[in-house]
Chains A and B, each alone.
Chain A
């Protein structure tokens, strides 16, 4: 019996599907191990007799990490959430203003300013962090959440990304509004910015992930334990004098949950944001 072209296609498709789902599950094993370990005793975590399902799940691990006395994940969530929200809201406004101006307003020195911004994308943040530290220390932003937030407002990548969107919006819209007596501020706020909603959503989810996960600046600027971000709470559980292996995996799980939720809600925007710009954060 000969198998037809259709059946052959379906067969290949099924094999591929099974193969890649297999790889995909293998891919997630470290994270599944993390979740499983977060519900175990440390001794159980490294036991020779390995089991994915904990004998008696220790949900109290989560309570311990969430309400920790010295360092608590509840505070970590609050700090990271504050940083993330304040960073994103202002960043999107500032970047939109810049993007609109670069795309739609004809002003003197525009090209030089734009080139200047683009060229800074090549300067690694690590190169400017020391003088930035001195400056923030001087003006009282050391041990202050705003030290993490304010630098996020400068986003040449986001400006570049949004500018592409503004460029595709028809200038006729603007002209019509101008004749009706609207100025740039109104055109921007009432006509143009609302049209870039999906681009803003992409930038929003990408920024969320970058801000929530940020590690190096909090490590440098936030030394007081009550200011620790989520990443620092995990780091704290790993420190020598603390070293709570049981809490480590619980803290790690708690850190990842919000980004996974945001990802599920805004999957489309993640994919679009990355595929069109390829810029993280």
Chain B
């Protein structure tokens, strides 16, 4: 009897590992191994097409050089600017829309669909659209001129101050549909009785929103702030579409810099060092996630 049970257990072990084997195999080959290899490469001076014998181990030199590299700092600064604008704007707008569309409204499903289409659309496709809309002679400038908000067309693509604006608008516009779904779901879970009690106590709409809705959906807000921050730190597609064919540095991002260093110049050492810095940044956000969840979120 005992023997049978242990052989049964052994069987379970084999079957279990067999079931997860494909996943674990790809995990080791395409994630775990490359990750550690990246750490190694970040401390090497090496161009891909030079062959292994040309590889030189340089310790932390790549990182030291990055700290003096103006282009990288610029990309980092831009990425931070993207993060602190896109995340609050897109989340703020989504909350307001979700609140407005909460409760009884005609054609809720159709509405949700209208907002969702930009989210599922190819970033390159909508990026191309925004790039065209923001051309010097195009619609956005014409509109602003007609409204007398500007006196001459803005060169959005190369204007050092404003070249980030189209990218920010594009990223906010694309993500609202997704966040709307999560906020709508969160708001539907707020017990109606809370609002009724507040109304009896004479709370107006704004007070109800601030005192009831916001705290009740705070787990969703927190979740989205964290995940959206992580994804905007890795912003690539929308930026790449705008930086193509231009030499401006005022709107590049860290991942665009990694891409160019690695796959245009094939300078794998410095590019790996950049990706390690990106990894640390993402880890910091994750740490804030674990630590902050206890502190700020009402459950």
Residues of A within 8 A of B (CB): 9, 13-14, 16-17, 19-21, 23-25, 27-28, 30-31, 33-34, 37, 45-46, 48, 50, 94-95, 97-98, 100-102, 105-110, 113, 116-117, 120, 122-124, 126-135, 150-151, 153-154, 156, 159, 183-185, 188, 209, 212-213, 215-216, 219-220, 230-231, 234-235, 237-240, 243, 245, 248-249, 251-253, 255-256, 259-260, 263, 267, 270-271, 274-275, 278, 280
With a cutoff of 8 Å between Cβ atoms, the chain A residues found around residue B105 in the complex are 13, 16-17, 20
* Main SS at interface, chain B: helix
Contact of B120 among A19, A209, A245, A248 (CB under 8 A): A209
User: Can you offer 19 A-B residue contacts whose CB atoms are under 8 A?
Assistant: A13-B105, A14-B106, A17-B106, A28-B114, A31-B117, A45-B138, A97-B19, A102-B20, A109-B17, A122-B286, A126-B275, A154-B26, A184-B19, A213-B122, A215-B240, A252-B125, A263-B116, A271-B181, A278-B182
Q: Is B84 an interface residue (CB 8 A)?
A: no
In the complex, the answer to whether A263 meets B117 with C-beta atoms within 8 Å is yes
Given A13-B104, A270-B116, A234:B124 Cβ within 8 A: yes
Whether A105 contacts B12 in the complex (CB less than 8 A), given A100-B19, A150-B26, comes out as yes
- In the complex, which residues of chain A have a beta carbon less than 8 angstroms from the beta carbon of B262? 129-130, 133
Q: Pick out which of these stretches binds chain A: B56-64, B196-204, B277-285.
A: B277-285
Q: Are A50 and B139 in contact (CB under 8 A)?
A: yes
Q: When the two chains form the complex, which single residue of B19, B20, B124, B275 contacts A127, counting CB atoms closer than 8 Å?
A: B275
Partner pick for A27 among B23, B173, B223, CB 8 A cutoff = B173
Please name all residues of chain A whose beta carbon is closer than 8 Å to the beta carbon of B48 when the two chains form the complex: 134
Mask for B194-221, Cβ within 8 A of A = 1, else 0?
A: 0000000000000000000000000000
Q: Are B129 and A215 in contact (CB under 8 A)?
A: no
Contacts of A156 in B (CB 8 A): 23
Known contacts A50-B142, A154-B27; A127/B279 CB under 8 A: yes
Chain B 1-50 interface residues, beta-carbon cutoff 8 Å to A: 9, 12-17, 19-20, 22-24, 26-27, 29-35, 37-38, 41, 48
Interface size range on B against A: 35 or more
Bound state CA distance, A170 and B199, in angstroms?
A: 43
Summarize A's interface: helix, strand, loop or mixed. helix
Chain B interface residues toward A at CB < 8 A: 9, 12-17, 19-20, 22-24, 26-27, 29-35, 37-38, 41, 48, 97, 100-101, 104-107, 109, 111-118, 120-126, 128-133, 135, 137-139, 142, 173, 176, 178, 181-182, 185, 223, 227, 230, 234, 236-237, 240-241, 244-245, 255, 258-259, 262-263, 268, 271-272, 275-276, 278-279, 282-283, 286
